[in-house]
């Protein structure tokens, strides 16, 4: 039996296809330009996204004897690479990560048997000792990208960097549909607690991951206030889950923190056994956030024990008048100019620590 399918022909309607294609292209171009202008009016500009691929690029640049900066966002904002290079004689590699716990990165360097360089490690105790959740996942995602990324992912990353350096609306942390929908004012309700809103875009970053606070955040104004008053909810531990008895949850957290002390000591020991060095640094914090951190994690607590257990030297900004005099405009990070001056003043202390 002959198949009717083989004789099927789809009729193409006689429509002005060229005009329709041109219309779609013009509407798309107009919508793109309008969105770009709107985003620039909000204060966004063409700047790289701090992606796990960008971090992996810098991780690949680490040599056996490199100076490596690791940590949270303060290790990213508060250090000037040029000043460190002038002071220490080598250009450091920036591996700090916003909103992260530094421990997985420290462990990754410790596991790299070829590495015997210097690690400058930022410590925010609330982030360093977090037992689970997003801060650990952020670090692990970057590490996994470094170890596992494909050729296609590398190619997409380099194309993406070119576009991000020219187009303002390509902000994956702020301007995707998912993020914008997540900013809708939905109140807490039974069985569904809304998490704290992350601070908005307030920095620039380049291909070396040198990060600077934008002027609009460094000076009093709506952006600075929005960032400033977002820190306290983010730095407040969440309540215990209702389905776990408080005593059991407390025991779990305590065990996780004890494991972090033990694992940190082991990681530092591995690096030092190969001739490397680890220096812990507590960067400036100001205002209500400083009071909050001091109350939850006083210096005599996790910081002191971390130095004791690891045997690594530490630089706590409040111990030195020349480092303690800096004010963070939005309580948590230094402005661009202050990061340069702070690094100048930090270098002698780093040299002293390296000589130990």
Place of tokens 């013009």: 26
Predicted pLDDT of residue 163: 85
CA-based radius of gyration for the chain: 24
Predicted pLDDT of residue 152: 93
Predicted pLDDT of residue 170: 79
Predicted confidence (pLDDT) per residue in 167-190, tens digit: 888 776 777 666 666 666 666 666
Of 99, 108, 103, 129, the closest CA to residue 255 belongs to 129
Q: Is the dihedral of CA 49, 219, 124, 68 positive or negative?
A: positive
Q: How confident is the model at residue 277 (pLDDT cuts 50, 70, 90)?
A: very high
Predicted confidence (pLDDT) per residue in 317-354, tens digit: 999 999 999 999 999 999 999 999 999 999 999 999 99
Mean pLDDT of the chain: 88
The CA distance from 228 to 92, in Å, is 29
Of 93, 346, 80, 333, the closest CA to residue 213 belongs to 333
Predicted confidence (pLDDT) per residue in 30-87, tens digit: 998 898 888 888 777 788 888 999 999 999 999 999 999 999 999 999 999 999 999 9
Of 323, 268, 253, the closest CA to residue 74 belongs to 323
Predicted pLDDT of residue 57: 95
The CA distance from 29 to 32, in Å, is 5
The CA distance from 312 to 272, in Å, is 9
Predicted pLDDT of residue 192: 58
- Specify the pTM: 0.84
Q: Given a cut of 70, is residue 17 above it in pLDDT?
A: yes
Predicted pLDDT of residue 6: 63
For 88, 128, 156, 314, 328, the CA distances from 295, given in Å and listed in that order, are 35, 16, 45, 20, 18
Predicted pLDDT of residue 287: 93
Q: How confident is the model at residue 195 (pLDDT cuts 50, 70, 90)?
A: low
Evaluate whether the domain defined by 52-181+201-354 bears CATH number 3.40.50: yes
Structure tokens that stand for 262 in this block: 């033990």
Predicted confidence (pLDDT) per residue in 115-168, tens digit: 999 999 999 999 999 888 889 999 999 999 999 999 999 999 889 888 888 888
β-strand 314-316 against 277-282: which pairing, if any?
Answer: parallel
Predicted pLDDT of residue 323: 97
Q: How confident is the model at residue 4 (pLDDT cuts 50, 70, 90)?
A: low
For 89, 101, 166, 267, the CA distances from 277, given in Å and listed in that order, are 16, 20, 40, 11
Least confident piece of the model among 3-7, 156-160, 211-215, 265-269: 3-7
The CA distance from 120 to 313, in Å, is 10
Q: Given a cut of 90, is residue 292 above it in pLDDT?
A: yes
């Amino acid at each position: 039996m002959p198949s009717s399918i083989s004789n099927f022909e789809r009729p193409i309607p006689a429509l002005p296809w060229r005009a329709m294609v041109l219309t779609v292209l013009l509407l798309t171009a107009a919508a793109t330009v309008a969105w770009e202008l709107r985003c620039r009016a909000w204060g966004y500009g063409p700047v790289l996204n701090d992606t796990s691929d960008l971090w992996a690029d810098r991780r690949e640049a680490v040599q056996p004897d490199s100076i490596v900066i690791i940590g949270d966002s303060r290790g990213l904002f508060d250090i000037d690479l040029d000043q460190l290079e002038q002071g220490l004689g080598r250009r450091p590699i920036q591996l700090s990560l916003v909103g992260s716990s530094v421990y997985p990165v420290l462990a990754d360097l410790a596991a790299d048997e070829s590495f015997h360089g210097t690690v400058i490690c930022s410590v925010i105790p609330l982030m360093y000792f977090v037992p689970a959740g997003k801060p650990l996942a952020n670090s692990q995602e970057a590490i996994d990208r470094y170890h596992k990324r494909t050729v296609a992912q590398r190619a997409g990353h380099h194309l993406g960097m070119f576009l991000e350096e020219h187009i303002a609306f390509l902000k994956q942390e702020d301007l995707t549909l998912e993020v914008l929908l997540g900013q809708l004012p939905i109140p807490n309700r039974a069985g569904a607690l809304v998490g704290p809103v992350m601070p908005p875009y307030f920095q620039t970053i380049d291909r070396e991951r040198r990060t600077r606070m934008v002027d609009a955040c460094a000076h009093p104004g709506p952006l600075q206030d929005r960032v400033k008053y977002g820190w306290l909810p983010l730095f407040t531990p969440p309540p215990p889950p209702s389905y776990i008895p408080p005593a059991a949850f407390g025991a779990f957290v305590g065990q996780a923190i004890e494991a972090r002390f033990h694992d940190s000591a082991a990681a530092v020991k591995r690096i030092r056994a190969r001739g490397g060095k680890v220096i812990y640094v507590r960067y400036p914090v100001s205002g209500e956030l400083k009071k909050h951190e001091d109350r939850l994690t006083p210096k005599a607590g996790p910081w002191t024990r971390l130095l004791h257990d690891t045997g690594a030297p530490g630089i706590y900004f409040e111990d030195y008048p020349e480092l303690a005099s800096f004010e963070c405009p939005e309580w948590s990070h230094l402005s661009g100019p202050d990061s340069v001056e702070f690094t100048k003043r930090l270098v002698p202390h780093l040299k002293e620590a390296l000589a130990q």
